[in-house]
Chains A and B, each alone.
Chain A
Amino acid sequence: GDSVTQMEGPVTLSEEAFLTINCTYTATGYPSLFWYVQYPGEGLQLLLKATKADDKGSNKGFEATYRKETTSFHLEKGSVQVSDSAVYFCALSSYNNNDMRFGAGTRLTVKP
């Protein structure tokens, strides 16, 4: 069935470092892809999305490009801040399933 695999954490970076969190997916057809962020003590928030191949989603300095040839949707940010410390979830949605499929989450800690 459809699934998402993302890099295991935790990831610890210094402020202003470059961030990449890898995400790959398995799906038949053409899923939509999402990144969600969960700040401490809060629910998940949609960070960005892409609905077709080669689309780039972006928000708050984060970017991810839908790569069908590599079945990937890696999350990147050029310069992280302490306030970016959170758990990041990659997810996919397709017409094969009623529910959205989530990766296991990657915890990011940014140190000053």
Chain B
Amino acid sequence: GAGVSQSPSNKVTEKGKDVELRCDPISGHTALYWYRQRLGQGLEFLIYFQGNSAPDKSGLPSDRFSAERTGESVSTLTIQRTQQEDSAVYLCASSLLSRNYGYTFGSGTRLTVV
């Protein structure tokens, strides 16, 4: 597509429920990233996918967080047993192989855990 698409744009969930967030990157972008942005704060790296290589999961905050990506297509970020501290905007970005190109970000999913 023309840009990075994320869905849903907003999600309100009850504490303890599981949620799934979706990211559709730009066609041809081999790298895909998930970041978390808490209110008024900077970006916190979560996970990185590059083609068919093993993902870099070093930023995932707990084992309640997981993500998948099939090849160079759609990615899903799953948060199990959501907690109030999971409330944030979850941003997805994609890029060409070279980091010098920078990232193209989606508009994010605003997650609110009540």
Contacts and interface: CB of A to CB of B under 8 A. Distances in A.
A49 B106 CA distance: 19
B42 A43 contact: no
Interface residues of B, number: 23
Contact of A45 (B56, B58, B105): B105
A79 to B, nearest CB: 26
Given A43-B105, A46-B102, A89 B91 contact: no
Interface of B: 4, 33, 35, 41-43, 45, 48, 50, 56, 58-59, 91, 93, 99-100, 102-108
Given A43-B105, A43-B107, A99 B48 contact: yes
A44 B100 CA distance: 17
B17 to A, nearest CB: 25
Contact of A32 (B33, B99, B108): B99
Contact of B99 (A42, A44, A100, A104): A100
Interface residues of A, number: 22
A49 B91 CA distance: 20
A46 B103 contact: yes
Contacts of B105: 36, 43-45
A94 interface: yes
